[in-house]
Chains A and B, each alone.
Chain A
Amino acid sequence: MRKYLKPLGFALAAVTLAAPPLAAQELSGTLKKIKDTGSITIGHRDASIPFSYYDDKQQPVGFALDICSQVVDAIKTELKLAKIDVKYALVTSANRIPLMANGTIDLECGSTTNNIERQKQVGFTNSHYVTASRYVTKKASRIAKIDDLKGKTVVSTSGTTNIKQLNDVNNERKLGINVLPANGHAEAFLMVETDRAVAFVMDDILLASLVASSKTPAAYQISSDAFSPPEPYGIMLRRDDTAFKRVVDAATAKVYKSGEIDKIYARWFQNPIPPKGLNLNVAMDPVLKKAFQNPTDSGDPAKY
């Protein structure tokens, strides 16, 4: 397949070269696209609270989108544009890769896990969050540690790294857990709510938002035991677009190091957030604090 794409790429390049070169500076990739069109398209999620979701006015908001708006400002300065038109496109976990690859979106601002495997397909800028796989249970079921899950039914969302970690721990420690895959986070949480499963294994921050928005937040507890070392979330961009990545990396590094990130963090994690005025009340993890002081785009958990 790739051998057919290459000639096509050349054909495209030939067409582009034939057009009179207007830009004084040699721009390529996404930067050129932004300069030419005067607009950037940001991919966002619909329910990744508090990273990227719709508020009560159906506007995309969130922690990741606040960071992205700082990135857009930096691109504006870099390209010396008076104004960049920011367009939004809703993406799901299933279509974010094709939409990134075909140029529909330029940045994906959500809660996408950055790992080495995925870096073969897309690029990530400096990580904006660090999370670990934990589990939520009803307090009434008295599950204090991972080993207490022995022989029980445990749910996780299918196709996530979390369900894989659950399987790994299950096999390693021979716990005999009946692992149940759910289609989405809401369905998975519903399984714990209706006692189909005793626990739900997921990124701890997503669990915190599910618990906060449940009918009886006090009935649930999130474990301190973790199934994994901390994993980074990153803002996604096209792979091998070094010029664009350099600008985005510099912009995020500036936000993270300047302390501005503390304000953005407090706004989304320690204050009431739209649409329902929930307060997640999550203090900044030392691991995350370190990742902000020394910004990195590494997909290796050991680097955090």
Chain B
Amino acid sequence: MSYNWNWGILFQPSPEGQGTYLDMLLLGLAWTVATGICAWIVAFIFGSIVGIARTLPSKTAERLGFAYVEFFRNIPLVVQLFLWYFVLPELVPTAWGSWLKQLQYAPFYTAVIGIGLYMSARVAEQVRAGIGSMARGQRQAALAVGLTLAQSYRYVLLPMAYRIVLPPLTSEFLNTIKNTSVALTIGLLELTSRARAMQEFSFQVFEAFAVATVMYLVLNLVVVVAMRRLERSVAVPGFIAGAR
């Protein structure tokens, strides 16, 4: 290798004129965190609704849920972001379209919605599996003691189902964070795009991506530790999800 290592580059001013290269990467990390968290909230809310819908007695709800999941998880994320960003504004009335296009943080909003809905399909599958994994008698017993369907979900099924799927949901949260890097294709200045910009400006490609790698790793470890804490604090003694 004839590579000129220069770790000092991180502390040199970036040509964009907003602090050093390290600041540039940290700013990218901030966008990654913001996008990841917002997209996860979208994914969790929509995923829960669709996941629950797929376990309802209603056939229509089940079919709609099925269509939703298959639609969002079978189209590559990068294609979905393109559709949201470039195609949607052309399909709506012109006035709305130009409003969408002039929006100041359009790439951020698009990424939050696009990644959020993509991941919601996966969350829905987890939630459905969690509810499905509970003994059928639980639902029947809940209804038999006089709870309405909504109450049986609220007080009997969901509290345990969410505890059961907490570990796989952690993985989905991590995937959401990692998937934010795809948003660089629609112009979101997140961590990966900042690392690429740094290597274009300085040609110090290994330093740029090494630091980005460490940042992703640390961020995801923080999430893992926090989710483990959450798992432990909500564990019900004697149940599989909390068995220790």
- Cβ of A160 within 8 Å of any chain B Cβ, yes or no, is yes
Contact-residue bracket for chain A = 35 or more
Q: How many Å from the CB of A167 to the closest CB on chain B?
A: 6
Q: Are A190 and B86 in contact (CB under 8 A)?
A: yes
CB 8 Å contact bits of A185-202 with B (1 = contact, 0 = none): 001001000111000000
Chain B 15-69 residues near chain A, CB threshold 8 A: 15-17
- Cβ of A58 within 8 Å of any chain B Cβ, yes or no, is no
Q: Are B1 and A159 in contact (CB under 8 A)?
A: no
* B196: chain A residues within 8 A (beta carbon): 94, 158-159
CB 8 Å contact bits of A31-58 with B (1 = contact, 0 = none): 0000000000000000000000000000
Interface SS, B side: helix
Q: Are B3 and A183 in contact (CB under 8 A)?
A: no
* A238: chain B residues within 8 A (beta carbon): 2
* A175: chain B residues within 8 A (beta carbon): none
Most A C-beta atoms less than 10 A away, residue of B15, B89, B184, B204: B15
Q: How many Å from the CB of A160 to the closest CB on chain B?
A: 6
Chain A 131-171 residues near chain B, CB threshold 8 A: 153, 155, 158-161, 164, 167-168, 171
The chain B residue sitting closest to A178, CB to CB, is: B104
Chain B 185-208 residues near chain A, CB threshold 8 A: 185-187, 189, 193, 196-206
Segment at the A interface, from B4-12, B164-172, B215-223: B4-12
Residues of A within 8 A of B (CB): 1-2, 5, 93-94, 97-98, 101-103, 117-118, 120-122, 153, 155, 158-161, 164, 167-168, 171, 178, 180-183, 187, 190, 194-196, 238-241
Residues of B within 8 A of A (CB): 1-7, 15-17, 86, 89-90, 98, 101-102, 104, 106-107, 184-187, 189, 193, 196-206
